[in-house]
Amino acid sequence: MLFTSIPFVLFLIVVFSFYWFVFNRNLKLQNLLLLGSSYFFYGWWDWRFLLLLFFISISNYLLAIEIRKRAKKSQSKPFFFAALIVNIGTLIIFKYFNFFIDGLMSLISLTGVKVSIETFNIILPLGISFYIFLSLSYIIDVYQNKLEAVRNVFDALLTFSFFPIILAGPIQRPIGLLQQIQTKRIFDNALTISGLKQILWGVFMKMVIADNCVGYVSTIFHGFESYNGSTLALGAFLFTVQIYTDFAGYSNIAIGIGKLLGFNLMQNFAYPYFSRDIRDFWKRWNMSLTTWFRDYTFLPVAYWVSGKIKSEKFYFIKTEILIYITGITLTWMLTGLWHGANYTFIVWGLIQGVFLIIYHISVKPRKRLLKRFNLSNNNSVFIFVETLLTLTIIMFSWIFFRADNLWDACKYISGIFTSSLFTAPDIKVDSVLLILIALFFLVEWIGRKQEYAIEGIGKKWPILFRWSLYCLVIFLIGMFMSTSESPFIYFQF
């Protein structure tokens, strides 16, 4: 049941109606309705995986209570490790088992020994990476005394299955979500209108921009060896547009649905393609995931390494730099692996890590260089060049993300840098789509200081003009939406 499908629209109307007009005076009934709706929504795809979702949820609920019962960390550790095994073990079995087995067989084969280990045809449950990470946040925060273990089992089950975010985030922290679940919610007309506008913009991003890029991207990437350099560059550009409008579109719809139900979910995208450096980009892209890895991977690793190295230098490398390199490398290798059991994702993650390290090392020399040549950091030309360079780096890294394997990714990139890069593309893109993409980014630029692009546009206009804008967006959705329904990209993760 996709957010952009008719069944989901009907489902949301029914839930919204009962939620606010029947159960509005009873918080417990509202939460039970949301819990039942969340399990119905997730079970629509495959009801069998409801058992897995319930197992993960109830395990974390019970183990968290056991952790909080123990005053000493030494007593609570067994339950904490048991919870880690349940969460991480489930993720490994369903997402990485065959990948690790294949890797093990490849390593053994290097010794000259032939070995065959049977793998299994495992179906990857939708959204498993997202709700497992939410569960890990909960159990870690409880263990570190940042969060009290929830005693109401229904509140716990809802926290781990809340339907707007279960399939592709944002990875809402339980510490913020639980508080909203346990607090009486009052209908807020302004919040509801904002939610509807954000949903509208998210649907436009997905159905008008992302879905119309799919056909071109698939054709070019699947047959990349047959196309010239300019066509391959065009394919990389269109995928750069597609993955942003697809994932940010989903996030906008999810956050908008949350607002309809009285929830404030965390912003997941903040106009990342307008970033002027790689660090700024990762502060703006999939913010719920990057902050998760920052808090639960990078900072603990950096703290652990800093405790092991007592000197200012380690083999001629400053300790501060070494700590950063270690933390960033491990964090981004795991971030890549989180996206999928494929070496392309790991390399994609390491590419981000390498450029973040380069940026970190270059910060001070860059400041000195600007001072030496008396250049302002806010120089418009300087900002434009840096933004274009950052976007170019991101675009080429997306090729690894989209390619089937590393060899294809390398061949794709080498195919771009040929003399044919300066010839006309072999594939002609519909000019209407290119105009829509240009208009989309223009609106994003105008609304870049808002949570979502059309949030503040037209607020001071007369109501007739304001509604004309919304009707225009609806018209464009109806006029240019793709005829083929395309799943959201991040459903595969």
- Domain residue spans in the chain? 6-187, 203-492
- Per-residue pLDDT tens digits for 102-136: 666 666 666 666 666 666 677 788 889 999 999 99
CA distances for 417 relative to 1, 343, 348, 410, angstroms = 42, 23, 20, 11
317 backbone dihedrals φ, ψ, rounded to 5°: -110, 130
Instruction: Provide the whole-model pTM.
Output: 0.92
**Which two tokens mark 302?**
């950096």
**Which two tokens mark 447?**
């609304």
Q: What is the pLDDT of residue 107?
A: 63
Q: What is the pLDDT of residue 102?
A: 66
Q: What is the pLDDT of residue 463?
A: 83
Q: What is the pLDDT of residue 487?
A: 82
Closest CA to 475 of 483, 463, 467: 467
User: Rounded to an integer, what distance in angstroms lies between the CA atom of residue 331 and that of residue 352?
Assistant: 10
Q: What is the pLDDT of residue 69?
A: 87
With tokens 């109806």, the residue in question is: 478
Closest CA to 38 of 332, 215, 257, 338: 257
Q: What is the pLDDT of residue 238?
A: 97
Q: What is the pLDDT of residue 438?
A: 96
DSSP type of residue 185: -
- In terms of C-beta density within 10 A (0-12 exposed, 13-18 middle, 19 or more buried), how is residue 431 classed? exposed
Query: Could you give the 3-state DSSP secondary structure of residue 311?
Result: coil
- Per-residue pLDDT tens digits for 128-177: 999 999 999 999 999 999 999 999 999 999 999 999 999 988 999 999 99
User: Rounded to an integer, what distance in angstroms lies between the CA atom of residue 36 and that of residue 43?
Assistant: 10
Residue segments in the chain with a per-residue pLDDT below the cut of 50 = none
Query: Could you give the 3-state DSSP secondary structure of residue 314?
Result: strand
- Per-residue pLDDT tens digits for 279-306: 999 999 999 999 999 999 999 999 888 8
Q: What is the pLDDT of residue 440?
A: 95
131-150 in b/e burial notation, b at 16+ Cβ within 10 A? bbbbbbbbbbbbbeeebebb
